[in-house]
Each structure stands twice: as structure tokens, then as C-alpha cells.
A = this chain, B = another copy of it.
Amino acid sequence: MKNLTRRDFSLTLGKGLIATSLLGSSNLACATEVGNQKKKLGVALVGLGSYSTYQLAPALLDTEHCYLAGIVTGTPEKESIWKDKYAIPHSNIYNYANFDSIINNADIDIIYVVLPNSMHADFCIRAAKAGKHVICEKPMAVSVAECDAIIDACKKANVKLSVGYRMQSDPYTNEVKKFVRERTFGEVHFVSSDAGYISQGNPDQWRLNRELSGGGALMNMGVYSIQTSIYGAGGNPISVTAQEFSTRPEYFKETDETITAQFEFVNGAVAQMFTSHNANGNRLKCHCANGWFELDPAHSYGPISGRTSNGNVISFSHQSQQALQMDDFAKHILLGNPNIAPGEMGKRDMIIVEAIYKSIAEGGKKQNLDLGEMGIVS
């Protein structure tokens, strides 16, 4: 079998290699019941690209409530490497052809889908149908309709669903949320959020392929800026306007290079975001009635760094965001703790992503949003 990397998915998608139907989907196996004695939940990573390799798998060595129990990969060479490195039993190793048989594997409680964006919905839905709890890497999907389909599938299968929003588990994020909630510096008036990096790598990478990514900078780093704008302002936006900029169309052939957007909030706050695959940016600053607070860097794997207008440094001992995130989800499943990054949060962000693209398509026209409290977790 050909080595199957995330980059190759575009070649295989049309060839029927990945089965999208699932026999026996009504035969749900719910491996973990609340209150059972199982100490650690078993996680299977689907897609062993750099994020799984360098972030998630190492993080799963640090987690208290879950561990790396299985893998799903299209690259046979990775099977043996990961098997040895993480002591994964052969029976917990899947490829994309036999993925659906994971339904029968009691070692796997959570399936973490770390595939290109356009494949999230298919694999999350199949994971749910296999009776497994689901973590869907961000962005949740490439459309609101797909987010709905994932949410519906998880509800029907009675499994838990969260989005891979590592920042929601980060103590710096929660300190910001606390400042906003408790009005430590007064009411927030202005939020500025930047999230970007300079992409100069392989022009065939899936992030530059619209069919796989669903979009460019906005779908990748922009989602962080949407998130920080929301927790920086303390609520969902009520409108958005947006603009797109392009300077390297020969490289960014299909996907957005740079996008700016502006949000209005019901409390009167205004947020301005910048995201790019052609410029760096990694910051959240909130100006309030009586002062300000800032994270810079704000969106990277850490350590995050923060400061406030009263001269304080915001500082927490560094922990793997991914470990915190997966443990938070495991505690949601095991202990009934709140789901701090539920599917509704991913859906809300995709509604905003779609509104941003619509505003751009309509020449910067304001798009009103009617999100209510969707996805808000205090």
C-alpha cells in the first residue's frame, strides 16, 4: 500500500479508498460509563502528521486521565515507529480502510481526529457511530452544515464531543476570561487580536489546498483570533465586517493569505482581528475602562506571556496545553466536569468564519450575527 500522508489525501479522496459508509452503526459500544472504575481513557489519534507527532502524542504521556491507546494512519511505516515508541498494541493500530472496525475495540474511548479540515466531519461522524467520544481538531469543519452533522451524530450516538481548542484549557486564557468576567480593569472597550505566521514551505501542503483545508489563514490561525476576540470581549459578536489581502497569489493559489475582521459586541466593545499566512502576529490586547491586559505571545504552544496596565506580569508555570485540553475532556467524560470546548463552540466559530467570507465576497459589507450564547463557556 502506498504511504498515505495528509498531503496525499487529495489524491485518494476521489478513489474510493476511504469508506464513508458504516455498517453496524446502530450497534453502539460505549466503552466508558460515568462512574466506572477505569482510571484513564484510551485515546486514538487519527492522522499522524506533525501536530499528532510533536504535540498530541508527547502530551498524552503527561495526561492524568487519558493516554495514547491507539492510532489510525495511512502510512504503514508509522505503524511500527509509533507502536514501538508508545507501546501501542498491534490490535489498536488502524488504517483508513479498516478504521470503522474500531467500534469493536474497548481500549479506545476517545477518537481525536487530526486530519485535514475537510475530512473532520466524515471521520468525526464515523467515530461517533463507532460509539467513541470525539475530539475534533480545529477548525471543526469546513462549513456550518458539517458542524451540525458532527453535533447531530454525537448526540445520536450519545457520545461526548469537543473541539481541539487547546487555548481554552490554558491558564492564561482563563486568567483573561476572569479579568473580563470580574471586570478587573472595568468594562472591555477594545480588543485587538493577531494570529499569523509566514508560510513559505511546500506549495503542495494541504493547508494551501482549498479542497482539503476549506480556506487559508482564516481557517487555520484566524480561528484563534476569533476565539480570543470573543473571550477578550466577554461574549459573542453581534456583527462582523472583513477584508482580504493578497500579495503572493502565486503561492496562495486557492486559499486566503491575509484577512482582517472587525467585530461589534452587545456590551459596546469593538474587536479587530488580523490573521495571515504571510505575516507574523501572536497577540491579544484588551483595553478596558480602567486599564488593559495583554497576552503576547497569545496563541502559541507556550509559554504564553502576559502583562497588565498595573505593571503585573501574568505568569503561570508552563504545562502542555494539549495535555490540559485532553485531560479536561477526559474529566468531562469521567467526572461530569463542564465541556469547555463543546461542538457548539466550534459551530459558532464556523458561523463567524462563513460570515467573514461572506463579508469579503460582498465587498466588506457588515454581516449581522444572531449567536446568542452559543458556544459560550464561562
Contact = CB atoms under 8 A, between A and B. Distances in A.
A198 B192 contact: no
Nearest to A294: B296
Contact of A194 (B190, B198, B248, B359): B190
Contact of A366 (B289, B359, B363, B366): B363
Interface string A178-206: 00000000000110101010100000000
A247 B266 CA distance: 9
Contact of A196 (B190, B247, B274, B279): B190
A364 B364 CA distance: 5
A192 B194 contact: yes
Contacts of A258: 190, 270
Nearest to A276: B190
A233 to B, nearest CB: 12
Contact of A245 (B270, B285, B287, B364): B270
A109 interface: no
Nearest to A190: B279
B272 A272 contact: yes
Contacts of A279: 189-190, 270, 287
A280 B243 contact: no
Interface string A148-170: 00000000000000000000000
A262 interface: yes
A365 interface: yes
A189 B364 contact: no
Contacts of A281: 190, 192, 287
Q: Range of interface residues on chain A? A: 20 to 34
Contacts of A285: 283
A254 B196 CA distance: 37
A270 B278 CA distance: 10
Given A260-B262, A363-B363, A363-B366, A289 B189 contact: no
Interface in A329-378: 359, 363-366
Nearest to A191: B279
A363 B363 CA distance: 8
B190 A274 contact: yes
Interface in A246-295: 247-248, 258, 260, 262, 264, 268, 270, 272, 274, 276, 278-281, 283, 285, 287, 289, 292
Contacts of A366: 243, 363-364
Contacts of A274: 190, 192, 270, 272
A217 to B, nearest CB: 11
A276 B262 CA distance: 14
12 contacts: A189-B276, A190-B276, A190-B279, A196-B287, A241-B364, A243-B366, A245-B264, A248-B268, A258-B270, A268-B278, A359-B364, A364-B365
Q: Can you list the 9 inter-chain pairs with the closest CB atoms, starting with the nearest? A: A364-B364, A247-B268, A189-B279, A190-B279, A280-B287, A245-B270, A260-B262, A241-B243, A243-B262
Interface of A: 189-190, 192, 194, 196, 198, 241, 243, 245, 247-248, 258, 260, 262, 264, 268, 270, 272, 274, 276, 278-281, 283, 285, 287, 289, 292, 359, 363-366
Given A189-B280, A194-B287, A245-B262, 10 more contacts: A190-B258, A243-B364, A243-B366, A245-B264, A247-B268, A258-B270, A270-B276, A280-B287, A281-B287, A363-B366
